[in-house]
């Protein structure tokens, strides 16, 4: 069981490292937002699932497992929402120009309203 | 090599240290980032990496009180990034 926890935490560290590298080195605003999504979903979820397994099988503390489950559900719920809001803000503040995009369907949707 | 012996203590602390170093690397994007959206996204990511380190420290010390702090930090970071996004979009 301990090996499974180590593997989950290792996956989490790998994805957090990949996300940080992408956020520092990507050339574009939307690419950097995509890399930050890498951190906020898989980078933290491995730690949370490993922590649930550890707190059930080793610490024998179910309150910690429940709190970790609430935290994981919260991250899964709020990551896409904040990413969506930040993407719309990047479009509206002209940080993403027409030269960065292949097709611009948000503009058509905004003109329909 | 016995995995169960290695178990309990040190590994969680070292991984938490890795998370803290990654969060410190993100301060580069927070200070430099060309647009406000970059700064908001990197601040949100720093928040979440800090939460990861806090969760690992809670597992290391066996106390659940750190998880409450992580929950409050996650809530405040989400509200902050959404409010910054709405303000930059111009709808606040």
In this structure, what DSSP letter does residue B21 have? H
Q: Per-residue pLDDT for A101 more than 90? A: no
A:11-70 residues touching chain B, CB 8 A cutoff:
12-13, 16-17, 19-20, 23-24, 29, 32-33, 36, 39-40, 43-44, 47-48, 51, 54-55, 58-59, 61, 63-64, 67-68, 70
Nearest to A44 by CA among B33, B56, B4: B56
Distance (Å) of CA A8 to CA A53, A65, B5: 10, 16, 18
Q: Read off the pLDDT of each residue in A64-87 and give the average, rounded to a whole number.
A: 92
Query: For residue B57, what pLDDT is reported?
Result: 93
Q: How far apart are CA A61 and CA B91, in angstroms?
A: 45
Q: How far apart are CA B50 and CA A2, in angstroms?
A: 24
Contact B88 A92 (CB under 8 A): yes
Which chain A residues are Cβ-neighbours of B61 within 8 angstroms?
Answer: none
Contact B22 A24 (CB under 8 A): no
Query: For residue B4, what pLDDT is reported?
Result: 60
pLDDT mean across residues, chain B: 88
Instruction: Provide the token pair at B72.
Output: 């409050």
Which string of b and e fits B53-86 if b means at least 16 CB within 10 Å? Answer: bbbbbbbbeeebebbeebbeebeebbeebbebbe
Instruction: Domain ranges for chain B, please list them.
Output: 3-89
Model confidence pLDDT, tens digit, residues B9-39: 688 899 999 999 999 999 999 998 788 999 9
Comparison of pLDDT for B72 and A112, the residue scoring more: B72
**pLDDT band, residue A99 (cuts 50/70/90):** confident
Element (H, E) at A1: none
B:15-74 residues touching chain A, CB 8 A cutoff:
15, 18-19, 22, 25-26, 28-29, 34-38, 40-42, 44-45, 48-49, 51-52, 55-56, 58-59, 62, 64, 67-68, 70-71, 74
Q: Does the predicted interface ipTM exceed a cut of 0.95?
A: no
Q: How far apart are CA A66 and CA A70, in angstroms?
A: 6
Q: Among B63, B67, B72, pick the best mutation site for testing chain A contact (most A Cβ within 10 A).
A: B67
Comparison of pLDDT for A96 and B60, the residue scoring more: B60
Q: Range with the lowest mean pLDDT among A35-39, A89-93, A108-112?
A: A108-112
Comparison of pLDDT for A101 and A76, the residue scoring more: A76
Model confidence pLDDT, tens digit, residues A18-33: 999 999 998 888 899 9
The HSE-up count of residue B30 (CA atoms within 13 Å, CB side) is: 14
Comparison of pLDDT for A111 and B6, the residue scoring more: A111
Q: What is the pTM (predicted TM-score) of this model?
A: 0.89
Instruction: Provide the token pair at A97.
Output: 């120009």
Query: For residue B7, what pLDDT is reported?
Result: 54
Does the CB of A97 have a partner CB in chain B at under 8 Å? no
Q: Per-residue pLDDT for B69 more than 80? A: yes
């Amino acid at each position: 069981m301990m090996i499974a926890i180590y593997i989950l935490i290792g996956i989490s560290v790998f994805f957090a490292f990949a996300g940080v590298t992408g956020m520092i080195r990507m050339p574009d605003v939307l690419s950097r937002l995509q890399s930050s999504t890498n951190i906020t979903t898989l980078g933290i979820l491995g730690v949370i699932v490993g922590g649930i397994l550890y707190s059930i099988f080793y610490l024998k503390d179910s309150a910690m497992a429940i709190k970790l489950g609430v935290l994981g559900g919260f991250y899964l719920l709020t990551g896409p929402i904040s990413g969506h809001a930040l993407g719309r803000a990047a479009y509206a503040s002209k940080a993403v120009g027409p030269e960065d995009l292949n097709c611009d369907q948000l503009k058509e949707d905004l003109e329909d309203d | 090599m016995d995995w169960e012996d290695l178990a309990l203590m040190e590994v969680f602390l070292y991984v938490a240290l890795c998370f803290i170093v990654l969060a410190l690397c993100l301060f580069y994007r927070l200070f430099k980032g060309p647009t406000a959206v970059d700064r908001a996204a990197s601040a949100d990511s720093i928040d979440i990496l800090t939460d990861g380190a806090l969760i690992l420290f809670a597992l290391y010390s066996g106390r659940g009180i750190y998880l409450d702090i992580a929950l409050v930090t996650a809530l405040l970071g989400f509200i902050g990034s959404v409010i910054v996004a709405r303000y930059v979009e111009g709808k606040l």
